[in-house]
Amino acid sequence: MKALLMLEDGTEFKGQSFGAPGIHFGEVIFSTSMTGYEELLTDPSYAGQILVSTLAHVGNVGINMKDHESERPWLTGFVVQDAPRTFSNWRANTDLGSWLTDHNVVSICRLDTRAVVKHLRSRGAMRGAVCAGPPPADLLEQIKNSPRIEDQNLVSTVTCKEKKTYGEKNSLHVVAYDFGMKNRMVDLLLHHNLKVTRVPAHTTAEEVLALKPDGVFLSNGPGDPAYLESIVGQIKKLLNKVPIFGICLGHQLLARALGGETFKLKFGHHGSNHPVKNLATGRVEITTQNHGFAVDSKTLPESVEMTHLNLNDQTCEGLLAPACRAFSVQYHPENAPGPHDSRYLFKNFLEMMETNLAQA
C-alpha cells in the first residue's frame, strides 16, 4: 500500500506502508540509535510523536516480548528506510510489521529517511502526519489543526493507573513517580536491593510521604514539563523531606520545582550516542537520550549546581541541590538501549539514602 509522510510546512515524503492503515498525527522527530528498536517503540516518552529512525534496516530481529519497556507502543507513527520482510532471532515471537499493525501504529518504509532527518535538523521538529492509503485533500490543513506537543498532557495518558510494589523483602524503600516509566528503571532499582512502589503521576506529596519512603524517584516521560505545574507543586513539597533522584522528564520537573525554567529544543535529543561531560570528574559519558525539552541552566538558583554538560550543544544534562538532597540527569542511565556508562547514578542514589538515614 502506498504511504505518505507529510510535515506541517507542506513537505512530503512518499513510501510504502508496513504497519496499520489509516492516518495518525504527531510531532515528527528522529532517533540516531543503531540498536534496540523494540525498546524505542515501547518507550512511553514517545507518546504523541512520529519517530523517524536513522538506522537503514529496522525489523531484522523481529519482536520479542522480553525487551519491551512497557505493555505497548505509545508513538503515533514509525518511519524507516527499509523494513525487511523476514526476521531471524531465536527469541522473536512475531515480525515487526504484524506487531505494529496489531497495535494500530501507522508505519512507512522505502523512503529517504536521510532526507527527512536533514530537513528536521534544518527546520526543527514539527507536526506531521503518517498516512497509509489515499491521503485526503485537506491533509495539510488537518496537520495544522492537530495539537502541538506543548499543549497536551501526555503524562496522564501513559502513567500507571494504580500503585504497585516490587521487591517487598528488600531493604530501603523508594517511591517511583511513573510519568512514563520504563521497565528497565524498575529492574535497576531492584538490582540495588531497593523496594520500589510505583505510583501514578498525580499522586500527592502527602500520599507519597505516607508510604514512608527512604527516597523518591522521578521517572522519564513525554511532553512539556511546563504543562505539568500541578506535579511540580507536589515535588516542591517533597524537597528537604526525602532524597530525590530524577531522570529525563523527572530532571526537568525537579529543576522547575527548584526554581529553574525549561525550554523547547530545536529538534530534541533522541539516540544512544550523546556525549555528556561529568563536570565533577571530567569524564565523558556516552548516553542514551530521548527528550524535546531542556533545563535552562542560567535560571537555576545559586544553591543548585549544574553537574553534567551536553558536549553537542552545551545544554544542562544534570543538576545537584545538596541542601535538598536532590539530584537529576537529563539522559537515561538505565541504557535501554545504549551504553552502561551512567549506571553509577543508581549507586549514588542508594548512597544518598543511606547517608540520610545515618544522619537522621
The residues annotated as belonging to the active site are 248, 332, 334
CA distance 258 to 164: 28
* DSSP structure class, residue 146: S
Distance CA(217)–CA(177), nearest Å, equals 6
Peptide bond preceding 337 in cis form (omega within 30 of 0):
yes
Give the separation between CA 45 and CA 255, rounded to whole angstroms: 18
Paired strand residues for 308: 278, 318
Element (H, E) at 14: strand 12-17
Distance CA 141, CA 213 (A): 49
How far the first Cα of the chain sits from its last, in Å, is 65
Q: Which of 127, 111, 122 is nearest to 53 (CA)?
A: 111
Q: Nearest 5°: CA angle at 49, between 45 and 54? A: 90
The three-point CA angle 304-308-314 to 5° equals 105
* Beta strands 284-296 and 316-321, pairing class: unpaired
The one-letter amino acid at 19: G
SS3 236: helix
The phi, psi pair for 219, rounded to 5°, reads: -85, 180
DSSP states of 166-209: E-TT-SEEEEEEESS--HHHHHHHHHTTEEEEEEETT--HHHHH
